[in-house]
């Protein structure tokens, strides 16, 4: 990928409209999780660790192209200490010599507000809703604690973000372009707009946008506030056309004074127009290949050889209920039942990153995963002993080790991506890029990536354990020429539709929006 030079020169190879925009602007990236986390060492020293996740990777790439300021929430005690130190010193930003691409500014909510915002509303409520994860007769219960978390947590923290963003914008020497990320910040655009009517606001929603009927499970006050918040943006971006259309329907159903133009993908609301765009996120092939070729990854690759078998099935996921890990193992169990000839000849390697352990559903889900893996391993350990072989059908690797996961992607025969619903799923793209064995991808229709890669993968419906078992079998036994054909097309697609493209398509639309808005600004308001 190219880069921005601190002297203001922007990479000459960028598309013209994008280059022009970047030369004049400061990108203000706004996300809950920051690009770095601070931690205290045992002797009290402040050290940094890179933030994790797709949003950070994607927006770090954006920061490379322009003057960039990142506004994020202080999540650790050390983040808060660092923000406080910055405040005492009167410094506008945290500048980090190891991260020259951006300057950082923390939003510092009090811990209780943060808890309500993150652990009660954003993750268990919005994230679960947007992934259709509720067992609706039982959940969610929107009780007084939920409402309190909404008012004193979600609303409060979104206001704090808006204050921070407007302060950054006001102090900016160049034109600020505000890039808001994800479901934590649905209300912030409206709060920003109240203070700065002219700012260019762009919001990208990384997760699915469910059907408008499902949104009815949220009280109307909440869903209206969410729609109104998002409509304060100039552009709202989604991963797939289906999510974007769902958003238009949701707005139509909830805001009687909004005018939805389904042909132009625009909404007029309270005198402003919001455009809805589709930008499927992707990976940076150069970066992914570099990590996969690193010494660390090579060390893991060597070590992992011992876990391979004649056939290797792989999955790599955050340990989230939406990823459908348990059904994936049940399908594998079924595969072994239906095809006993595979006993002793196939290994399933699962790399899972634990996440959000403050939320009960996540802890329970990890327990369920461990239980099902234990059951399968115990069951087939006996079967293998009868045949006189030592064989463990599932190997579970729990922990956050990106180079190790990429190392494993090189040698799968089948990659299982059976998410129930997923915004995109970058694992499918990383696998397509790195795999060296013409491996087959078994891909859920519920993953955003399906819209792009589905035609070269084996399709599964996420609840269909039997169908998933069959797809695993088809993948393992697919003729070599067909595997090679599909693998080649998958790789070519990922190389062409990379992270740069995701970014530039958005910047291109922002530039267009900006040029359309400019004449309006020349008309001075009459006093
Ligand atoms: C998932 C979602 C992202 C989201 C992230 C937040 O990966 O797909 O859209 O931003 O979770 O994760 P965090 O660990 O920061 O709560």
d(CA 369, CA 159) in angstroms, rounded, equals 38
d(CA 15, CA 13) in angstroms, rounded, equals 7
- Whether the pLDDT of residue 522 is over 50: the answer is no
388-405 pLDDT, tens digit each: 778 999 999 999 999 999
Which of 36, 54, 237 best tests ligand 1's pocket when mutated (most atoms within 8 Å of CB)?
54
pLDDT for residue 153: 98
**What residues form DSSP beta bridges with 31?**
72
**What residues form DSSP beta bridges with 236?**
203, 276
Is the Cα dihedral 120, 281, 424, 129 positive or negative?
positive
- Residues 253/246, Cβ–Cβ less than 8 Å: no
pLDDT band, very low/low/confident/very high, at 119 (cuts 50, 70, 90): very high
In this structure, what are the phi and psi dihedrals at residue 346, rounded to the nearest 5 degrees? -130, 140
Atom 11 of ligand 1, residue of closest alpha carbon: 53
d(CA 161, CA 146) in angstroms, rounded, equals 21
d(CA 38, CA 85) in angstroms, rounded, equals 13
Residue 142: exposed, middle, or buried by beta-carbon count in 10 A (0-12, 13-18, 19+)?
middle
Q: What residues have CB less than 8 Å from 227, skipping those under 6 apart? A: 250, 251, 254, 255, 258
Q: Where are the alpha helices (DSSP H) in 25-127?
A: 54-63, 77-88, 111-114
pLDDT band, very low/low/confident/very high, at 366 (cuts 50, 70, 90): very high
What region does 50 belong to: left with phi over 0, alpha with psi -120 to 50, or beta? beta
Q: Which atom of ligand 1 is nearest to the CA of 206?
A: 9
Structure-token pair, residue 111: 């811990």
206 CA to centre of ligand 1 in angstroms: 8
Structure-token pair, residue 183: 């479901």
- Whether the pLDDT of residue 500 is over 50: the answer is yes
Does any ligand 1 atom lie closer than 6 A to the CB of residue 53? yes
262 secondary structure, DSSP code: T
| End-to-end C-alpha distance for the chain, whole angstroms | 48
351 CA to centre of ligand 1 in angstroms: 18
In this structure, what are the phi and psi dihedrals at residue 353, rounded to the nearest 5 degrees? -100, 115
Percent of the chain with pLDDT over 70: 95
**What residues form DSSP beta bridges with 317?**
352
Domains and CATH numbers, the chain: 16-282+501-516 (3.40.50.2000), 285-496 (3.40.50.2000)
Structure-token pair, residue 192: 């920003």
Give the lowest-confidence range in 60-69, 433-442, 504-513.
Answer: 60-69
pLDDT for residue 15: 84
205 CA to centre of ligand 1 in angstroms: 11
- Residues 154/116, Cβ–Cβ less than 8 Å: yes
89 CA to centre of ligand 1 in angstroms: 32
Is the Cα dihedral 136, 139, 141, 147 positive or negative?
negative
pLDDT band, very low/low/confident/very high, at 384 (cuts 50, 70, 90): low
Is the Cα dihedral 367, 373, 379, 381 positive or negative?
negative
33 CA to centre of ligand 1 in angstroms: 8
**What residues form DSSP beta bridges with 29?**
70, 179
Q: Which atom of ligand 1 is nearest to the CA of 53?
A: 7
Q: Are strands 94-95 and 258-261 parallel, antiparallel or unpaired?
A: unpaired
Which has the closest alpha carbon to 236: 251, 254, 225?
A: 251
pLDDT band, very low/low/confident/very high, at 9 (cuts 50, 70, 90): low
d(CA 435, CA 406) in angstroms, rounded, equals 9
Total residue length of the chain: 527
Q: Are strands 272-278 and 266-269 parallel, antiparallel or unpaired?
A: antiparallel
Does any ligand 1 atom lie closer than 6 A to the CB of residue 423? yes
- Average pLDDT of the residues in 236-264: 98
pLDDT band, very low/low/confident/very high, at 380 (cuts 50, 70, 90): confident
387 secondary structure, DSSP code: T
pTM for the complete prediction?
0.94
- Residues 10/4, Cβ–Cβ less than 8 Å: yes
- Residues 420/131, Cβ–Cβ less than 8 Å: yes
53 CA to centre of ligand 1 in angstroms: 6
pLDDT for residue 6: 55
d(CA 52, CA 47) in angstroms, rounded, equals 16
Percent of the chain as helix, strand, coil, to the nearest 5: 50, 20, 30
Which of 29, 51, 206, 279 best tests ligand 1's pocket when mutated (most atoms within 8 Å of CB)?
206
Percent of the chain with pLDDT over 90: 84
In this structure, what are the phi and psi dihedrals at residue 416, rounded to the nearest 5 degrees? -100, 115
318 CA to centre of ligand 1 in angstroms: 10
Q: Where are the alpha helices (DSSP H) in 211-268?
A: 212-215, 220-230, 241-254
pLDDT for residue 472: 98
Q: In what order do the strands lie in the sheet with 258-261?
A: 94-95, 103-107, 67-73, 25-31, 175-181, 200-204, 235-238, 272-278, 266-269, 258-261
Structure-token pair, residue 54: 């797709």
Strand, coil or helix: what is 205? coil
Q: Are strands 266-269 and 258-261 parallel, antiparallel or unpaired?
A: antiparallel
Does any ligand 1 atom lie closer than 6 A to the CB of residue 323? no
- Average pLDDT of the residues in 211-230: 98
- Residues 345/383, Cβ–Cβ less than 8 Å: no
Does any ligand 1 atom lie closer than 6 A to the CB of residue 33? yes
- Whether the pLDDT of residue 134 is over 90: the answer is yes
70 secondary structure, DSSP code: E
- Average pLDDT of the residues in 198-206: 97
């Amino acid at each position: 990928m190219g880069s921005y030079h601190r002297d203001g020169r922007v990479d000459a190879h960028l598309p013209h409209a994008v280059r022009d925009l970047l030369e004049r602007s400061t990108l203000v990236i706004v996300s809950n999780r920051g690009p770095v986390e601070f931690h205290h060492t045992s002797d009290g020293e402040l050290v940094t660790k890179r933030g994790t996740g797709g949003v950070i990777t994607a927006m770090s790439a954006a920061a490379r192209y322009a003057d960039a300021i990142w506004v994020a929430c202080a999540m650790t005690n050390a983040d808060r200490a660092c923000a406080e130190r910055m405040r005492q010193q009167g410094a506008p930003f945290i500048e980090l010599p190891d991260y020259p691409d951006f300057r950082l500014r923390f939003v510092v909510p009090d811990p209780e507000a943060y808890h309500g915002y993150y652990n009660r509303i954003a993750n268990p409520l919005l994230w679960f809703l947007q992934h259709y994860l509720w067992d609706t007769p039982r959940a969610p219960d929107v009780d007084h604690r939920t409402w309190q978390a909404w008012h004193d947590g979600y609303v409060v923290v979104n206001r704090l973000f808006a204050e921070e963003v407007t302060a950054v914008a006001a102090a900016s020497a160049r034109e600020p372009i505000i890039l808001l990320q994800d479901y934590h910040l649905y209300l912030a655009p409206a709060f920003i707009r109240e203070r700065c009517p002219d700012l260019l606001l762009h919001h990208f929603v990384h997760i699915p946008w469910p059907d408008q009927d499902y949104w009815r499970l949220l009280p109307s006050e909440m869903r209206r506030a969410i729609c109104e918040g998002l409509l304060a943006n100039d552009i709202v971006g989604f991963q797939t056309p289906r999510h974007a259309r769902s958003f238009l329907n949701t707005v139509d159903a909830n805001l009687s004074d909004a005018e939805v133009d389904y042909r132009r993908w625009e909404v007029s609301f309270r005198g402003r127009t919001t455009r809805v765009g589709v930008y499927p996120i992707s990976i940076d092939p150069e970066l992914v290949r570099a990590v996969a070729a690193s010494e660390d990854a090579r060390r893991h690759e060597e070590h992992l050889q011992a876990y391979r078998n004649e056939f290797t099935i792989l999955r790599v996921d955050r340990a989230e209920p939406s990823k459908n890990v348990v059904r994936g193992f049940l399908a594998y169990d079924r595969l072994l039942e239906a095809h006993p000839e595979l006993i002793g000849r196939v290994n399933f390697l699962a790399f899972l990153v634990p996440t959000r352990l403050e939320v009960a559903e996540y802890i329970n889900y990890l327990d369920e995963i461990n239980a099902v893996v234990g059951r399968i391993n115990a069951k087939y350990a006996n079967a293998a002993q009868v045949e006189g072989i030592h064989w463990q059908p599932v190997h579970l690797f729990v922990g956050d080790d990106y180079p190790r996961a990429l190392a494993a992607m090189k040698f799968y025969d089948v990659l299982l991506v059976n998410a129930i619903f997923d915004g995109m799923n970058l694992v499918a793209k990383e696998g397509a890029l790195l795999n060296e064995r013409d491996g087959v991808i078994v891909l859920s229709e519920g993953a955003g990536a399906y819209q792009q890669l589905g035609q070269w993968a084996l399709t599964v419906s996420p609840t269909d354990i039997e169908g998933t078992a069959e797809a695993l079998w088809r993948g393992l036994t697919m003729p070599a020429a067909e595997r090679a054909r599909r693998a080649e097309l998958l790789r070519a697609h990922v190389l062409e539709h990379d992270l740069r493209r995701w970014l530039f398509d958005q910047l291109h639309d922002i530039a267009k929006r900006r040029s359309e808005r400019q004449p309006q600004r020349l008309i001075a308001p009459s006093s």
